[in-house]
A and B are shown apart, each in its own frame.
Chain A
Amino acid sequence: MVIDNRNPLPDITDSGAGADVRPGPAPAEGEVLSIDDLHVSVHDGAAMAVRGISLSVRAGEIVGLVGESGSGKTLTCRAALGVLPRGCAVAQGTVSFAGQDVTALSRRDWERVHGNHMGAVFQDPASYLTPTITVGHQLAEVLRVKLGLPRRAAHQRAIELFQAVGLRQPELVFDQIPAELSGGMLQRVMIAIAISCDPQLLVADEPTTALDVTIQAEVIELLLQLREQRGLAVLFVSHDLAVITELCDRIVVFYAGEVVESGSAAEIIERPRHPYTQALLRVASVGDFRRRELEVIAGQPPHVGADIVGCRFAERCPIAISACRADSIQPVPVSHQHHVRCVRARDADNVGELVAR
C-alpha cells in the first residue's frame, strides 16, 4: 500500500460504526498519529506522570522518543495504544489516529484499530507472547481472526511473514513456544505479528534494549526495510541515543514527563538546544568515540508526578537562571519544526557544545 500525501488514509471505522468515533482535531496532511497536550495520571490519580505531551508521526516517518526511565515515554506509548496499565488514565488531552479521536475509544473499536491500523512491539518479547502457544499459531491466529484467512493459508502466510522478518528456517520456528526461542528471534516474531495486518503505524517500546548489539543492528535494519517496503510509520522509544540517531527521522526528547525538545534528527544531533539534550548526547558520546572520562548527568530526575514550578530540569541544569523556576516553560520554536522547552533556547552561548568537545 503506497502512502503519500496525495493518498488519504483509510477511515478506521470503515465497517460503519462511525458513531463511536468522534472526529479529532484536524490533522496535518498525512499525519498518522497526533498527540495533543496529553496528561496521564498514575496510581489512581494520585500523581501526574505525563504532562502536556504533544507530538505527531507522519505517514512513513520514524519518530524516536528518547529519555531516561520514568520520563513518561512508555506511558505515552501505552496511552497512544489504548493499553494503559491498571491505575493509570488519560487525565487530559487527546490522541488522534488518522484524524480520528481515539482517546476514549470503546474496547470494541480498539479491537478494530489494533492490528489493522496500529501494531506494537515491546521490550521483553517473551513476556508479551502467550507462553503455552507456539509462536506460529499465535501469528496464524491473528491472520485467521483479523484477516479471515482459512487455516492452511494462514499457516502459509505466517511462514512467509517469518521469512520476511529475517527468521531463518521459519517452518521450524513456527512450532516453537516462546521459551524455546532467543530474544532476537522473539523480537522478530513480535514484529511479524505486529505488521501482519498491514498497519500504518508501529509503536515500538524499547524493542532493542534487551538485545545484544549485533541483533540490535539487524532489528533496526528490519524496521528501515519495513518503512521502505510498506510505508510503515514507526514510533520508536528508547533510552539509547545511539540507536535513535541511526534510525529516526525526527526525535522527541522526554524529561520528567514533558517533551523538552523535538525536531528532525539531524537538527537535534548537530544543534541541540536544550541543556538536557546536550547532556544526553554528551553521555552517549554520539559521534565521538575519543571521550576519555565517563560522563554522567549529576543529580536525579524528580519523582514521578512531582509538582514543580518552572523547568523540571532546573535542578540539574548547568545554565539555569532564576527565570527557569519562575513559571511554567512553554516550548519555543528555534528553527523549522525544532521546538525547545527552555527559556535560554535562543541564547547565543547555548549553541551545541557537543561538537566542540
Chain B
Amino acid sequence: MTVAGPPRMGTVSAAGAATAPRRRRGRVAAVRIGGGLAVLVPIVVLSTFITYSLGALSNSDPAATILGQDAATPAAVARLNRALGLDHPLVVQYWNWLTQAVQGKLGRSYFTQIPVAQSISQRLPVDLSIAILAVILAVVIGGTAGVVAAIRRGGWLDRGVTVVCSAVSTLPAFVVGIILVVLFAVTVHLLPANGYVGPTTSIPEWLKYIILPSLALSLAVSADIARQLRTSLVEVLDRNYIVGARVRGLPYRRILVRHALRNAAGPALTILGNDFPQMLAGAVAAEVVFSLPGLGQLVLESAETRDIPVVQGVLLVISSFVIVVNLVVNTTLNWLYRTSDGLGA
C-alpha cells in the first residue's frame, strides 16, 4: 500500500548530474556510489536488528512452545534453549542469525519444523510475480495515459485522464483490489477471485490469477506516473528544440519518442523509482486480499501461532528487497542522467 511517497534512502539529486561536463561525470558517479555504501551498511544492520529483536519482545518462551506443554520441564527447556542458541545475549543471537541468513539458512518454524527458507522460497514467486507485473503495468498504463494526455492537451481525453488519475490516487490499493474483484470476478465472471497456478504449470492460467492483484497494486502508481509524465511532456513539447526537430522534417512519432520523451521521462521515472521498492510489500498485501498462497498468508498464519522465526524470515526478505531495489534504482537513475545520449540517436 503506497502512501505519500516516502523519499528514497540516500537520495541523490539526479538533476545535478545532468549539467556536469562529461569528462568529470565518471569521477562524480564513482564518488556517489562509494558514499552510498557507507550509508548502506548502517541501514542494513539497523533494519535487520529491528527485525530480529521482535523475537526478544515476545514474552513467550519459544523452547516451551516447541516442546509443548507436557514435555516442557525446566531441564528440557534449558537444554533446548542452549541448542537453539537462545541463551546468548541478544546481539550475539542477532549476529548468528544474520550470518546464517546470508547463507540462506533462516532457521526452522517452531511448529512445523519446516525450514523457514523453504517455506519462503515456495511462496516468494507468487509475490514477486505480482510485484514485477505491477511495475510493468504501471509503466505501460501510466506511460500511455500520460503521453496521450500530453499530446491531446486541453482536449477531453486530457481532462478525463487527469480526473481519473486524481480519483485513483486517493483510493487505497486494497479497496481498489476489492472493487476489481467485484467487477471482474463476481459480476462478469471473467477472472477468478482467488486461487493460484504457477507459471511453470500454465502461463495463461497463471496470468489469469495474478492480473487482478497486479492491476490493483499498479493503479495508484500508474496515476502518479501519468500525472507527472503529462506535466513534463507538455512542458517539453513547448520547448524550442522540439520546433527545431520539426523543422528538420523528422516524423512526429520519432520526435515524440527520441526527443521529447527522452527528456520528459526523468521525473516520471523518479516517481517509479520511489514506488518500486515498496512493490513487494504491496504485493504481499494485495495477495492477501485475493487469497493467493504467498508470503502474506504465511505471515498471517505464523503470527497467529506466534511462530517467530517465520515472521522474522519474511520481514527480512521484504526489507532486503527494499534495500536492494533502492540501490539498483539509485544506480540506474544516476547512470541514466549521466550519459549523454548518443545511443542510436
Chain A nearest CB, measured from B315 CB (Å): 41
By a CB distance below 8 angstroms, the chain B residues around A180 are 21-22
A322-B246 Cα distance, complex, nearest whole Å: 47
Q: What A residues does B240 contact at CB under 8 A?
A: 122, 124, 127-128
Contact segment of B184-192, B210-218, B337-345? B337-345
Q: Of A86, A132, A142, which contacts B248 at CB under 8 A?
A: A142
How many interface residues does chain B have, given as a range? Answer: 20 to 34
Say whether, besides A133-B345, A180-B21, A145 and B243 are in contact (CB < 8 Å).
no
B254 touches A128 (CB 8 A): no
Chain B, 77-106, contact with A by CB distance < 8 Å: what is the 0/1 string? 000000000000000000000000000000
Which chain B residues border A114 with CB–CB below 8 Å?
Answer: 246-249
From residue B210, how far is it (CB to closest CB) to chain A in Å? 37
Q: How many A-B residue pairs have CB under 8 A?
A: 93
A48 within 8 A of B: no
- Is the beta-carbon distance between A193 and B345 smaller than 8 angstroms? no
Contacts of B262 in A (CB 8 A): 130, 132-133
Contact A127 B247 (CB under 8 A): no
- Cα separation A115 to B249 with both chains bound (whole Å): 5
Q: From the candidates A113, A140, A175, name the one contacting B249 in the complex (CB within 8 A).
A: A113
Instruction: With both chains docked as a complex, state the minimum distance between the C-beta of A128 and any C-beta of chain B, in angstroms.
Output: 3
Flag whether B263 is at the interface (Cβ < 8 A): yes
Residues of B contacting A146 in the complex (Cβ-Cβ under 8 angstroms): 248-250
Mark out the residues of chain B between 242 and 298 whose CB falls within 8 Å of any chain A CB in the assembled complex. Answer: 243-252, 254, 258-259, 262-263
A130 to B342, CA, bound (A): 11
Interface assignment of B19: CB less than 8 Å from any CB of chain A:
yes
Q: Is the CB of B244 within 8 A of A122?
A: yes
Chain B's closest residue to A174 (CB) is B342
- Cβ–Cβ < 8 Å partners of B159 in chain A: none
- The reply to whether the CB of A138 lies closer than 8 angstroms to some CB of chain B is yes
* In the bound complex, CA of A86 to CA of B240 (Å): 12
Size range of the chain A interface in the assembly:
35 or more
Cβ contacts under 8 Å, A119 to chain B? 247-248
User: Closest Cβ of chain A: how far from B154's Cβ, in Å?
Assistant: 10
Closest beta carbon of chain B to A324's beta carbon, Å: 38
CB-defined contacts of B241 to chain A, threshold 8 Å:
127-131
Name the CB-closest residue of A to B18: A132
Pair A83/B248 contact, Cβ less than 8 Å: no
Tell me, yes or no, whether A137 is within 8 Å of chain B by CB.
Answer: yes
In angstroms, how far is the closest chain B Cβ from the Cβ of A2? 23
Q: A133-155: which have CB < 8 Å to B?
A: 133-134, 136-138, 140-142, 145-146
Instruction: Answer whether A132 and B341 are a contact pair too, CB < 8 Å, given A122-B244, A127-B240.
Output: yes
Residues of B within 8 A of A124 (CB): 240
Q: Is A111 an interface residue (CB 8 A)?
A: yes
Cβ–Cβ contact A128 & B243, under 8 A:
yes
Question: Inside 8 A of A110's CB, which chain B residues have their CB?
Answer: 246, 249
With A122-B240, A180-B22 as contacts: A141 and B345 at CB distance below 8 Å: yes
Cβ of B238 within 8 Å of any chain A Cβ, yes or no, is yes
Contact A134 B21 (CB under 8 A): no
Q: Determine if A120 and B247 form an interchain contact, defined as CB atoms under 8 angstroms apart.
A: yes
Closest residue of chain B to A199, judged by CB? Answer: B249
In the complex, what distance in Å separates the CA atom of A217 from the CA atom of B259? 32
Of A129, A132, A138, A146, chain B has the most CB atoms within 10 Å of the CB of A132
For residue A141, which residues in chain B have a CB less than 8 angstroms away from its CB?
Answer: 250, 258, 345
Q: State which of B246, B247, B250, B263 has its C-beta within 8 Å of the C-beta of A145.
A: B250
Does any Cβ of B come within 8 Å of A283's Cβ?
no
Residues of A within 8 A of B263 (CB): 130-132
Q: Is A107 an interface residue (CB 8 A)?
A: yes
On whether A132 and B340 interact (CB within 8 A), knowing A124-B240, A145-B254, the answer reads yes
A116 contact from B245, B249, B254, B341, Cβ within 8 A = B249
A38 part of interface (Cβ distance < 8 Å):
no
Query: Is A259 engaged at the interface, CB distance under 8 Å to the other chain?
Result: no
Q: List the A side residues contacting B340 at CB < 8 Å.
A: 132-134, 177
Residues in chain B near residue A53, CB distance under 8 A: none
Bound CA–CA A124/B244 (angstroms): 11
Enumerate chain A residues within 8 angstroms of B243, measured Cβ to Cβ: 83, 122, 128
CB proximity to B under 8 Å, residues A96-131:
107, 110-116, 118-120, 122, 124, 127-131
- Please give the residue numbers on chain A whose beta carbons come within 8 Å of chain B beta carbons, in ascending order: 81, 83, 86, 107, 110-116, 118-120, 122, 124, 127-134, 136-138, 140-142, 145-146, 175, 177, 179-180, 190, 193-194, 197
Given A124-B240, A131-B241, 15 new contacts (CB under 8 A): A83-B246, A83-B247, A111-B252, A115-B249, A119-B248, A120-B247, A127-B240, A128-B243, A130-B259, A133-B262, A134-B340, A136-B342, A146-B248, A194-B247, A197-B249
7 contacts between A and B (CB under 8 A): A128-B240, A131-B241, A132-B262, A132-B263, A137-B342, A137-B345, A194-B247
The 10 nearest A-B residue pairs measured at CB: A115-B249, A128-B244, A114-B249, A137-B345, A127-B240, A120-B247, A133-B345, A177-B340, A134-B342, A130-B241
